[in-house]
Amino acid sequence: MKKTFLPLNDLPIGKKAKVKLLACNGPVRRRMLDLGMIADTEVEALQKSPSGDPVAYGIRGAVIALRSEEASKILVEANVL
């Protein structure tokens, strides 16, 4: 098991990861924080929509769909075999 950093939109479905960095500013950053995405929050990639984007993520007990533009700005740390 090795820890790697990757943008959230690259997290495979069914995998969990920890939020490490929000690479966005202004309103987008505020919105992500409001969803509870602070450092070390666990997120799980749950389900792709039929066209592959957006993707539904499990965040603090809620299911939130994010477009790849937003998800790519969230850096997470995941265990990869």
Binding site for other proteins (CB under 8 A): 25, 27-36, 38-39, 41, 46-54, 56, 58-67, 69-70
Q: Smallest distance, Å, CB 64 to other proteins?
A: 5
Q: Smallest distance, Å, CB 22 to other proteins?
A: 8
Task: Measure the CA–CA gap between 17 and 5, rounded to whole angstroms.
Answer: 9
Q: Strand locations in the chain, DSSP E?
A: 2-7, 16-22, 42-48, 55-59, 62-66, 74-80
Q: Smallest distance, Å, CB 2 to other proteins?
A: 26
